[in-house]
Amino acid sequence: MIMSPLPCSAGVDSDRRFFLRQAGAAAVWPWLSARLEAADDQPAGPGPDQSVLIARDKEPLCLEFPFATLKDFQMPNPQFFVRNHFTIPQLEVQNWRLRVEGAVQRPFELTYDELRKLPAHTQTTLIECTGNGRAFLTPRAKGVQWELGGVSNAQWTGVALADLLRRAGARPDAAEIILEGADFGEPSSEPRPAGKIHFARSLPFSKARQPNVLLAYLMNGERLAPAHGYPLRAIVPGWYGVAMVKWLTRIIVAERPFRGYSQTFDYSYFRRGPDQLPIVVAVGELQVKAQIARPARGEMLPAGKEVRIFGAAWTGESEVTRVDISTDGGKTWQPANLLDKPIPYTWRFWEMAWRPDQPGRYRLLARAADRRGHVQPLERNPDLRNYLISHPVPVEVEVRG
Ligand SMILES: Nc1nc2c(c(=O)[nH]1)N[C@H]1C(S)=C(S)[C@@H](COP(=O)(O)O)O[C@H]1N2
Ligand SMILES: [Mo]
């Protein structure tokens, strides 16, 4: 494959030569070159705090945010949930490259420094794992047993995927963009391909071209931690986490839909057409959803005292416009108060004051709706297999006199 030379890599070299000329004497050369090497060696950001997060899996590492402690709109990096399928690759930016290839006129490769010199964009985006809430499914569904904390929101900074596709001259009739990570291993369940595979996932070209789809190197203003994809990961606003490939090393412009493992045998569900025949679809856009953070499941509350019911709601390519709360297991509903301003692709906090006068057991439910009129389904649709868990999950509390 032919790599076209990049103007900015030439820029780096001439800067360095200029700098060396300024430094002058030959005697300083070994010392200076060691210093320059060290300057290129940008470290990864601080990783997850395992004393705060709930370990759902040690290897590959899966850590849940304790959702009952929710308070920050932007989740501090050490508290952001983690979902890995394989061992975290330990990448060094000096050796790391991003390749853009496939159905393009000008395939190219970027170094980390070259990438950091491209125009940067910032986008606040929520990541939810498609299995979030799985622990509440009956019968038990296979996969990581997330309760409510397979979700977090952060501010991401990086380059627009669209800019790189333009630079490569992606064919306008391309079907999809495949994102490949450096991590690899054997998938844990059948059916699966033989041996080790890399984590890879595609986006339709129409989605990949949106200016808010980023390849991010900063998370809340800090370098990504190795657990979150250092040095580079995809951010796909409005989609489930599985599309936000970490440890990105390759972008392939594909002329046909990509039927890779993580969007066929894994991370897929059934949708009924007008003829009622179930067809397999890859997990993509987020479902509208509200979750109660507090009170927490099993909490004891004093009768006759006001309680604040508090949580968050989010959706895909729309905006949360309504959250309703039931304190009687779904018989009656009252609107919650939506807090702050809606920011697309993030979560919106909400609250409702509740004063339970009678002692007893109460089932609290939250149900969100978005501007398009999508409403959380009250019942679980079994066609969704072990994914897209968006029916309201009851929070049972006890009120004592
Ligand atoms: N390369 C790679 N990217 C990946 C994954 C992975 O295992 N490998 N997991 C995906 C899934 S299923 C989710 S939910 C998100 C989780 O991102 P986080 O660990 O930063 O929270 O990363 C996605 N990107
Ligand atoms: Mo996920």
Q: What tens digit of pLDDT does each residue of 324-357 get? A: 999 999 999 999 999 999 999 999 999 999 999 9
What percent of the chain lies above the pLDDT cut of 70? 90
Q: What is the mean pLDDT of residues 21-46?
A: 53
Q: Which ligand is nearest to the CA of 246?
A: 1
Atom of ligand 1 nearest to the CA of 240: 14
pLDDT for the residue numbered 29 = 47
Average pLDDT over residues 34-48: 67
Residue-wise pLDDT tens digits, 189-202? 899 999 999 999 99
Q: Which of the listed residues 83, 85, 235, 388 should we mutate to test ligand 1's pocket, taking the one with most ligand atoms within 8 A of CB?
A: 83
pLDDT at residue 15 greater than cutoff 80: no
Tell me how far apart the 2 most distant CA atoms of the chain are, in Å. Answer: 85
Alpha carbon distance 269, 263 (integer Å): 9
How far is ligand 1, taken at its centre, from the CA of residue 83, in Å? 5
pLDDT at 19: 36
> Among the listed ranges 3-17, 103-117, 170-184, 236-250, which one has the minimum average pLDDT value?
3-17
Pocket of ligand 1 (CB under 6 A): 80-85, 127, 129, 181, 183, 199, 228, 241-242, 244-247
pLDDT band at 33 (very low <50, low <70, confident <90, very high): very low
**Is the pLDDT assigned to residue 12 strictly greater than 50?**
no
Q: Which atom of ligand 1 is nearest to the CA of 182?
A: 1
Q: Rounded to the nearest whole angstrom, what is the distance from the C-alpha of residue 345 to the centroid of ligand 1?
A: 17
Q: Supply the angle between the helices 29-40 and 7-23 in degrees, to the nearest 10.
A: 140
State the average pLDDT over residues 356-371: 98
* Confidence bin at 41 (pLDDT 50/70/90): low
pLDDT given for residue 143 in this prediction: 95
Residue 291 sits at φ, ψ, to 5 deg, of -130, 140
Whether residue 30 is predicted with pLDDT greater than 90 in this model: the reply is no
Out of 28-42, 138-152, 291-305, 323-337, least confident range: 28-42
Which distant-in-sequence residues (6+ apart) come within 8 Å of 293 by Cβ? 67, 68, 69, 70, 148, 310, 311, 312
Q: What is the mean pLDDT of residues 369-395?
A: 97
Output the residue whose Cα is nearest ligand 1's atom 23.
242
pLDDT at 167: 98
Q: What CA–CA distance (Å, rounded) separates 368 from 113?
A: 43
The predicted-structure confidence for 105-161, as pLDDT tens digits, reads as follows 999 999 999 999 999 999 999 999 999 999 999 999 999 999 999 999 999 999 999
How close is the Cα of 131 to the center of ligand 2, in Å? 6
pLDDT at 279 over 70: yes
Pick the residue whose CA is nearest to atom 6 on ligand 1.
Answer: 84
What's the average model confidence in pLDDT over 246-260? 98
142, 347, 356 from 264: Cα distances, Å: 16, 28, 47
Q: Of all atoms in ligand 1, which is nearest to the CA of residue 86?
A: 7
Average pLDDT over residues 23-31: 44
Instruction: Give the pLDDT of residue 254.
Output: 98
Query: Where does the pLDDT of residue 1 fall: very low under 50, low under 70, confident under 90, or very high at 90 and above?
Result: very low
What is the pLDDT at residue 272? 97
Closest ligand to Cα 388: 2
Residue 226 banded pLDDT, cuts 50, 70, 90: very high
